[in-house]
Structure 1
Amino acid sequence: MRVMVDHDRCEGHGLCTQAAPTVFSFDDDGELVNAFAGADVPDELTDAAREAVDVCPVAALRSE
């Protein structure tokens, strides 16, 4: 599973960082960082990553 971030849609609510803190974080400029950008999320983190996609209030996250 891969997760893509639409940075234009992201409003920085941070629900994804709460649902999947190993996958998502904010950098010093307040931009969302996907620790697995361009790579598959490890199997043990896919449930948390799916939850993060589901809880984003502005649909800034998409999974494949």
Structure 2
Amino acid sequence: MAKKKASVNVASCVACGVCRLQCPRQAISIYKGCYATVDENLCVGCGLCAKACPASVIEVKERDVING
């Protein structure tokens, strides 16, 4: 089964935290002040983080999700 999930290009992320502030599920955190990471268990694929990202390094795309 595929669901939409946010994905961060960590090589280009500047860890500004704008995406984290926009996420209604608190699915995004900043790893050691270096880049954003997404908790796929919390992410609902709404795309608010991608729209808010000033560096345009987040995209929401279909991901295979295995239940069980």
Which TM-score applies when normalising by structure 2?
0.68
User: Matched residue pairs, number?
Assistant: 56
Instruction: Percent identity, please.
Output: 14
Larger Rg: 2
Which TM-score applies when normalising by structure 1?
0.71
| Separation (CA, whole Å) in 2 of partners of 1:17 and 1:34 | 9
User: Gapped runs of 5+ residues in structure 2?
Assistant: 62-68
- Structure that is richer in strand per residue: 2
Matched, 1:10 2:13: yes
| Separation (CA, whole Å) in 2 of partners of 1:59 and 1:52 | 10
CA RMSD of aligned residues (A): 2.0
Alignment-mate amino acid for residue 6 of structure 1: N
| Separation (CA, whole Å) in 2 of partners of 1:40 and 1:15 | 18
User: Gapped runs of 5+ residues in structure 1?
Assistant: none
